[in-house]
Chains A and B, each alone.
Chain A
């Protein structure tokens, strides 16, 4: 049984489909990266998971209990930071921790958690939150999400405003907590960061889950591409498609051809020669998360 399960959840705002039959699950101790462009439905999905929003159909099950608007008993074991850190300006970091710790019978040790998230010390813990930088607020938001010893933590853009050192510290903290069995659902625009952090990936576009896989599976789906620039890219694309290859026009006047069995740089070169096209440039590159994500998002077919 998964710790969190979304089953066919849909949400419409008028005629706009914010969530369209969204289904995925989160296993214990796994870090799930929720990825998608702006307006794809990531925050809406997170709001549905935390009982903040009514959805039209489907169900959200967390720790064997339903979560829906007005039915939020299960949320005692969930921490979240959605969209932006929520702070009371006249509270200090310590006040925030004490305030949210009241929700739990067995909260984390406040001093230890403040130290772990880097919000301790005279200069930080005792300062009013209205004087915090975005990065400090972000750290505080993460600490708040962890105070109730949650089984699942939902973090929306947790690395926003953090300097590289802080990003590294927060990444390490999340990984350590995941090893202890805490699950995370994290959305981020910093795809390199997610690539390092997430065990599983769920890609959302236009309210639909367009792909879900482990990060390793996802990245190994398209290991490499041949990027070729010829005297006539349209003709090269036609020839590649006629040969049954997966190809498309890329940015910067290139034809991108997926490396598959029998398809490599040599074969592409031979095909160009056969078509009497001048090859101006040819490269083979491995696909990173960003490239692959762009490919998935532009792919009309969904392989979820």
Chain B
């Protein structure tokens, strides 16, 4: 397993150069928080990592989309699978490295946000708006938890279609257009209430919890008519099912 992780890491660095995304995620908030975001709106800017949040979400989708599809397009899927390792080991190693790439890019974004604030302070002689750490950190944790869903969908599509373009598109749409998807699914729920438990709505509602405060929890509990932990449990079950489905497709594929 360690060997597989080392190999996936080598591909992440040398083949896919994920660090370019991390560099962008660092530099973007430095630029926006220093020169673009007005001082009075900096709190919002911090939560969105100075605009890097979207870049990081797209980067995550790209990491997930490429991990399998490029093995097919380069023809490396055969040497990858005709070795002593089981497909489950290969699958898990890929998911771990996608997650590591994503988290490192996110950390670069957070560091960029702090650096942006530092540069702003140097230029303006004041700290500007203080960071409200609790919602700031909560938003990042929520992003990671929601990204697990996008990864699952992107991996599923990339394994089914073997197309990185299709997988990246789905990932980007899901990660930046969640509000649109939520309104469509909310509209459909009017016709049949149990539809509210569809994975997109569950994920969309949970992703609306920005600050972990009770108001958003209560809204979700009212919407689903269930405790918040039930909604989280359903979300987890969906995640597990999608990952199992994705692995089943990968496991059965002759190459």
Identify the A interface with B (CB < 8 A).
Answer: 47, 50-54, 69-70, 72-76, 78, 80, 82-91, 95, 98-100, 102-103, 144
Give the CA-CA distance A251 to B11 in the complex, in Å: 53
Does B86 lie within 8 Å of A70, measured CB to CB? yes
* Cβ contact within 8 Å between A90 and B85: no
Nearest CB of B to A258, in Å: 42
Looking at chain A's contact residues, the main secondary structure is loop
We find that the number of chain B residues with CB closer than 8 angstroms to chain A is 25
Question: Is the beta-carbon distance between A95 and B84 smaller than 8 angstroms?
Answer: no
Q: How far is the CB of B97 from chain A (nearest CB, A)?
A: 14
Are A95 and B255 neighbours in the complex by a CB distance under 8 Å? Answer: no
- State how many angstroms separate the Cβ of A143 from the closest Cβ of chain B: 12
Q: Which residues of A contact B87 (CB under 8 A)?
A: 70
**The 7 residue pairs across chains A and B that have the minimum distance between CB atoms:** A76-B84, A50-B82, A86-B75, A86-B76, A53-B254, A88-B15, A90-B15
Q: Judge whether A52 and B15 touch: CB under 8 Å.
A: no
| Residues in B whose Cβ lies below 8 Å from that of A70 | 86-87, 251
B134 at the interface (CB under 8 A from A): no
List 12 other contacts, CB 8 Å, given A80-B79, A88-B76. Answer: A47-B255, A52-B254, A72-B84, A78-B82, A80-B78, A82-B82, A86-B75, A86-B79, A88-B15, A90-B16, A99-B11, A103-B84
B213 at the interface (CB under 8 A from A): no
Interface residues of B in 71-115 (CB under 8 A from A): 74-79, 81-87
Q: Which residue of A lies closest to B4 (CB)?
A: A102
**Contacts A69-B254, A70-B87, A87-B74 hold; do A100 and B14 have CB atoms under 8 A apart?**
no
- Please indicate the chain B residues that have their CB under 8 angstroms from the CB of A76 in the complex: 83-84
Q: Which of B20-76 contact A (CB under 8 A)?
A: 74-76
9 A-B residue contacts at CB 8 Å? A50-B78, A52-B255, A69-B254, A70-B86, A74-B84, A90-B14, A90-B15, A98-B10, A99-B11
Shortest CB distance A76–B (Å): 4
- A72:B82 contact, CB within 8 angstroms: yes
Q: Which residues of A contact B86 (CB under 8 A)?
A: 70, 72
Q: Give B78 Cβ to nearest chain A Cβ, in Å.
A: 6
By the criterion CB–CB under 8 Å, are B254 and A95 in contact? no
B79 touches A53 (CB 8 A): no
- Asked whether any CB of chain A lies closer than 8 Å to the CB of B126, the reply is no
How many angstroms from the CA of A47 to the CA of B78 in the assembled complex? 9
User: Known contacts A53-B255, A69-B254; is A86 also within 8 Å of B83 by CB?
Assistant: no
Q: Tell me, yes or no, whether B214 is within 8 Å of chain A by CB.
A: no
Nearest CB in chain B: distance from A27 CB, A = 22
